[in-house]
């Protein structure tokens, strides 16, 4: 009988030994993984909502406006970077809308 009580007490202590690890994983999820997933969903929604005339910035830092889409699926778009220059890029290479970056750069310039 004493052996059974000892085994139950040892099992309870074993579960409590894993509690700090579980707590650390939960904190990492809420502070790192969840916000990153949210940003990724927002960026994907922005890329899917692109339309003709939107001013965008590519991952490489090229500023331009969307002048059209290519292909049946619309995965590539024509980016007008100058009055005579157009380039073809993938939708996934769009980093952000230029209007978002302009408002951020204005804040930096004011400081």
Confidence of residue 35 (pLDDT cuts 50, 70, 90): very high
61 and 104 inside one domain: yes
The per-residue pLDDT of the chain, averaged, comes to 82
% residues pLDDT > 90 (the chain): 59
pLDDT at 17 > cutoff 90:
no
What total number of domains does the chain contain? 2
* Same domain assignment for residues 106 and 67: yes
CB 70 within 8 A of CB 84: no
Structure tokens at 3: 């052996």
Same domain for 73 and 38: no
Same domain, 104 and 56: yes
84's CB contacts (< 8 A; 6+ apart) are: none
CATH code, 83: 2.30.30
Is 60 in the same domain as 15? no
Helix or strand (DSSP H, E) at 24 = helix 19-28
Place of tokens 């406006």: 65
For residue 50, what is the DSSP state? -
pTM, rounded to two decimals: 0.64
């Amino acid at each position: 009988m004493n052996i059974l009580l000892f085994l139950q007490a040892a099992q309870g202590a074993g579960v409590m030994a894993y509690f700090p690890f579980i707590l650390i994983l939960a904190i990492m999820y809420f502070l790192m993984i969840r916000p990153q997933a949210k940003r990724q969903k927002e960026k994907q929604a922005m890329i899917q909502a692109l339309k003709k005339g939107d001013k965008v910035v590519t991952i490489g830092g090229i500023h331009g406006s969307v002048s059209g889409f290519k292909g049946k699926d619309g995965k590539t778009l024509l980016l007008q970077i100058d009055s005579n220059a157009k380039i073809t890029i993938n939708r996934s290479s769009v980093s952000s809308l230029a209007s978002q970056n302009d408002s951020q750069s204005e804040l930096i310039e004011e400081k």
